[in-house]
């Protein structure tokens, strides 16, 4: 796995924990959009259901906080 992918994965796992989700909401809109896109891309590659559930929780938290962040998606329709 390339270094950038492992950094993204560790960052995603950090923000996906319930205690850290609010931390993601203070990031700028571009960073939150990037987190959502990375989470969606990684979601189906994760073998552990608990990790997938946490990523879904992160996605939901960000999208509930600011639906307009989806306008910044570059790789996800």
Taking only the tens place, the pLDDT of each residue in 3-61 is: 556 667 888 889 999 999 999 999 999 999 999 999 998 988 889 999 999 999 999 99
3-state secondary structure of 46: coil
Question: How far is it, in rounded angstroms, from Cα 62 to Cα 64?
Answer: 6
Residue 75: what pLDDT? 79
Location of structure tokens 């509930």: 64
pLDDT of residue 46: 87
- The per-residue pLDDT for 1 is 47
């Amino acid at each position: 796995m390339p270094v950038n992918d492992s950094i993204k994965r560790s960052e995603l796992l950090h923000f996906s924990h319930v205690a850290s989700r609010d931390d993601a909401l203070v990031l700028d809109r571009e960073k939150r959009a990037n987190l959502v896109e990375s989470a969606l891309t990684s979601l189906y590659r994760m073998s552990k259901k608990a990790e997938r559930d946490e990523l879904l929780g992160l996605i939901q938290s960000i999208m509930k906080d600011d639906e307009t962040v989806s306008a910044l998606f570059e790789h996800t329709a």
